[in-house]
Amino acid sequence: MIVGIDLGTTNSLVAYYDGRQARVIPNRLGENLTPSVVSVDDDGTVLVGKTALARSLRHPLSAASVFKRSMGTDREYVLNGNKFSAEELSSFVLRSLKEDAEYYLKQPVTEAIISVPAYFNDKQRKATKLAGELAGLHVERIINEPTAAAISHGLLDSRDRSRYLVFDLGGGTFDVSILERTGKIIEVRSIAGDNFL
């Protein structure tokens, strides 16, 4: 089973295609969004999502968030004495989403398409792919977030050559992209935004 994953700066989600449309998979708490937060407990247990977010309020030095901004860099995060790269922290979030999807779908999830900001460079894209692999996923494709948004809203259905303005207001970023679609091909023509809201 292949899933689509939005690995967000502040929240992440996983979805699948049911044959007619994309459906968001709720996490085991019944929520569509999983906070992109990782915490390490005193016994070394890695916590992800809402549990990690709650723990971060009491133990801020044992938690990390907004690590997506450091993908593809040498930055290390120290959580409760343990060192992690942004890719490793992202892999914990991705593994949690993978496990939520497997629980919901009642079948193994082995492949994923992961969306990234259109401004991500090649190093950041490769780092995202590595995070997926560390989570036990074969990353079929890395796709630009505005392209994913265009596809999810049916913009491929039209036959005409078209241009679209896509606004992506996330928890930590704001991006504006101009997309051009010719047939089934969507190209990002221009991007701008604020990556540090």
Q: Which residues are part of the catalytic machinery?
A: 6, 68, 145, 168
Query: How far is the C-alpha of 188 from the C-alpha of 192, rounded, in Å?
Result: 11
Residue 76: count of CB within 10 angstroms of its CB: 11
Residue 60: count of CB within 10 angstroms of its CB: 11
Q: Which residues contact 21 (CB under 8 A, 6 or more apart)?
A: none
What's the DSSP call for residue 129? H
Q: Which of 96, 98, 131 is nearest to 16 (CA)?
A: 98
What's the DSSP call for residue 107? S
What's the DSSP call for residue 159? -
Q: Which of 185, 186, 92 is nearest to 145 (CA)?
A: 186
Name the residue type at position 39.
S
